[in-house]
Structure 1
Amino acid sequence: MTLLACIDGSTYTPSVRDHAIWAAQRLGVGIDFLHVIDKRPEPAPVAEPAGDVLDARTSLLRELATIDARRSQVAHEHGRLVLAEARAVAEAAGVAPLECRLRHGHLVETVEEFEDRSALIVIGKRGEHADFAKLHLGSNLERVVRATTTPLLVAARAFRPIRQAVIAFDGGASSRKAVELASGGKLLAGVRTHLVCAGGETAELRAHLNWAATLLEAREVEHVIEQVDGHPDQVIAEYVRRNEIDLLMMGAWGHGRVREFMVGATTTSMIRTCLIPVLLVR
C-alpha cells in the first residue's frame, strides 16, 4: 500500500505535500504524487463554410492548434516542476518509496485507478482557481469525495503538527469507522481524541456513545467525550475553535441521511468553515 497525494500547483500544494509526508511517516508507507492535466472538451461540430471564409477559418484553426500545443507544453513543464519539488521535499524528510505521476485526463478517473493501492488519499480543499474569499470548495474535491471509498484527508491551507483531533460523532457507520481509525491505527497514535456529538440525548445515542467510550478506553486512547445541544456544523466549528483542534474527523455522509448530490450539507459546511484539515471516512 501507498499514499496518493493530488497536487496541482495551487496555493494548497505545499500543504497537501506536507500533510502527505506527515501521514506517510506515521503509516510507514511511500507516496504517489499525482498531477493531472485536465482534458479539454472537444469543440462542437459546425457547418463547413465555403470560399474565402473557409481559408480564413483554416488559418485561424492552425493558429489555435499552435497555441493549444504550446499551452499543453507549458502545462507539462509546470506539472514536472510541481512533482519534482514535492519529491525533493519528501526525499529530504526520509519518505520512501516515492512515485511522481503526470497524467492527462480527469482527476476523479485517475484517482479511481490508484485507489485500490492507496491507504489514504490527500487532496486540497480548493484548487488553483479557488475563490478564497467565498470559501467555495474545489469541484474536484466534491467529485473525489463522491467517487472514492478510501479515507480522504482534505488538507487545509497550511500544515501544522496534529496533536488533537475531534470526531464529529452521530453513531452512524461512517462515524464509527472514524472512531475505529482513531483508536486502532498508526495514523493517529498518540493524538488526543475528542468525540463530540451534537443534539439532544436519546437512549440510542447514549448506546452509541457508550460503545465509543468502551472502545477508546480498551485501546488506551486519551480522549474526551462531549454531547452538546445545537446544529452539528455550528457546534463542531465552535468546539474546534475553542479547543485549538488540529484535525476534524467525520463521515462523508451523515447517519440516516439520503445521499445528497454534493458531499452532503453538514459535511460540506464543516469542510468549508473549519480552517483545519478534515479526514473523511466511509
Structure 2
Amino acid sequence: MTSVMACIDGSPSAPAVCDYAAWASLRLDCPLSFLHVLDENRYPTSSNLSGNIGLGSREHLLEELAELDARRSKLALEEGRLMLEAAKKRALEKGISSPLLKQRHGDLAESLAALEDEIRLAVIGKQGDHANVGSQVGSHLESVLRTLSRPVLVTPNAFKHPESVMLAYDGRPTMDKAVQLIAGSPLFKGLPIHLVMVGADTNDAWEQLKLAKENLKAAGFDVQIAIRSGEVEPTLHAYQNEHAIDMVVMGAYSRSRIREFLVGSNTTKMLSTSRTPLLLLH
C-alpha cells in the first residue's frame, strides 16, 4: 500500500512537514510514513583515513579518528531516531492512527527513488537542515524533484490549513494530467480551485481553460479561471496574493537541464520565492 511519505530532518521546516503530511494523509485516507535519511556525505558508513595522516604519525591516531567518526555516525543515527519519534507523536496528536518510521543511510533522492513504489505523495521542507547560507531552497530538493516521479509537496516553515488552491495551468499535457489527478483525488475535495494561465489572452487559451474547468466542475469543484500577462513567477504570486490562495499546484522541473539553462526554470523561481506550499507534478 502506498503512503504519504514525509522527509524529516533537523531544519526549521520539519514541524510544518509533519503537519502538512498529516493533513494530506487524512485527506487521502492513506497511511503516513516518516523518513529520516542520514546524509552519507556528512556521516559516511566507513572511512579510510590513511591518506589524511602524515608520515610519522602513530597508528593510534588513525584508530582514534576512526572511532570518533563512528561515534559521530552513531550519535547522528540516534538523533534521527529521536526526530522520528517526535514526528510520530506529533502525527498521533493530529489524528493519525499508526504512522510508520523509516531510517536510511545515504542520499535522500536515491533513498526516495528506492522507496518510490511505496509513495503516493512525498512531503519535503523547502530548506534542509544544512542548506547553504543564503540559499532559499534545500540542497537536496532539486535532485529529489528531478529523480522522483511521484507528486512532491514542498512546504514552508509554518503550517496553515489549506482552504484554497491555485493550479498554474499552461495547457501542456502535464497540466491536463494534473487536472485529471485533482479531479479524481480527495486531497482538494471541497476546496475552491483557481486555474490561472500566464500568457497571451487568446480564444485558444480560453478554450483550454474552459475545458479544464468543466472537468473539475464535473468532479464537484468550485472553479475560477483567469488569464494574466507578464512574467510567470511574479504574475502567479500576484494572483495568489490577490485571492489569498493557500497552496499552488504546478509542473515540476522538465527533464532537460539544457533547456532550463537556456530559458530558465519557473519551478526554481517559484520555489525560491514562494511562502506557501507548492505541490509539484511531473
Same fold judged by TM-score > 0.5? yes
User: Is 2:153 aligned against 1:180?
Assistant: no
Structure 2 unaligned residues grouped into runs of 5+: none
Determine the structure 2 residue equivalent to 1:59: 60
Task: Within 5 Å, give how 1:19-38 maps onto structure 2.
Answer: 19-38=20-39
Amino acid at match of 2:112: V
> Is the CA contact (8 Å cut-off) linking 1:173 and 1:255 kept in structure 2?
no
Task: Within 5 Å, give how 1:1-282 maps onto structure 2.
Answer: 1-40=2-41, 46=51, 53-54=55-56, 56-131=57-132, 134-253=134-253, 260=260, 265-282=265-282
What SS does the corresponding residue of 1:143 show, helix, strand or coil?
helix
Structure 2: how far apart are the matches of 1:47 and 1:33? 37
Amino acid at match of 1:210: K
How many corresponding residue pairs? 276
Structure 1: how far apart are the matches of 2:235 and 2:255? 17
Normalised to the residue count of structure 2, the TM-score between the two structures is: 0.90
Normalised to the residue count of structure 1, the TM-score between the two structures is: 0.90
Structure 1: how far apart are the matches of 2:265 and 2:50? 39
Amino acid at match of 1:145: L
* Structure 1 residue 46 displacement after superposition: 3.8
> Alpha carbon RMSD of aligned pairs, Å?
2.5
Structure 2: how far apart are the matches of 1:217 and 1:99? 36
What SS does the corresponding residue of 2:61 show, helix, strand or coil?
helix
What SS does the corresponding residue of 2:140 show, helix, strand or coil?
helix
> Is the CA contact (8 Å cut-off) linking 1:174 and 1:253 kept in structure 2?
no
- Identity between Structure 1 and Structure 2 (%): 38
What SS does the corresponding residue of 1:29 show, helix, strand or coil?
coil
Instruction: Sort the Cα spacing of 1:260 and 1:59 in 2 relative to 1 into closer, same or farther, 3 A.
Output: farther
Instruction: Sort the Cα spacing of 1:255 and 1:217 in 2 relative to 1 into closer, same or farther, 3 A.
Output: farther
Structure 1: how far apart are the matches of 2:51 and 2:255? 49
Structure 1: how far apart are the matches of 2:129 and 2:257? 32
* Structure 1 residue 12 displacement after superposition: 0.9
> Is the CA contact (8 Å cut-off) linking 1:12 and 1:155 kept in structure 2?
yes
Amino acid at match of 1:104: H
> Is the CA contact (8 Å cut-off) linking 2:146 and 2:253 kept in structure 1?
no
Structure 2: how far apart are the matches of 1:239 and 1:112? 34
What SS does the corresponding residue of 2:115 show, helix, strand or coil?
helix
CA deviation map 1:167-192 (0-9, x unaligned): 11101122222222332210010111
Structure 1 unaligned residues grouped into runs of 5+: none
CA deviation map 1:21-66 (0-9, x unaligned): 00000011111100000113656874996xxx33x25333222112
Amino acid at match of 2:17: V
Amino acid at match of 1:170: D
Instruction: Sort the Cα spacing of 1:98 and 1:115 in 2 relative to 1 into closer, same or farther, 3 A.
Output: same
* Structure 1 residue 255 displacement after superposition: 11
CA deviation map 1:205-226 (0-9, x unaligned): 2332122122122222111111
Instruction: Sort the Cα spacing of 1:163 and 1:66 in 2 relative to 1 into closer, same or farther, 3 A.
Output: same
What SS does the corresponding residue of 1:139 show, helix, strand or coil?
coil
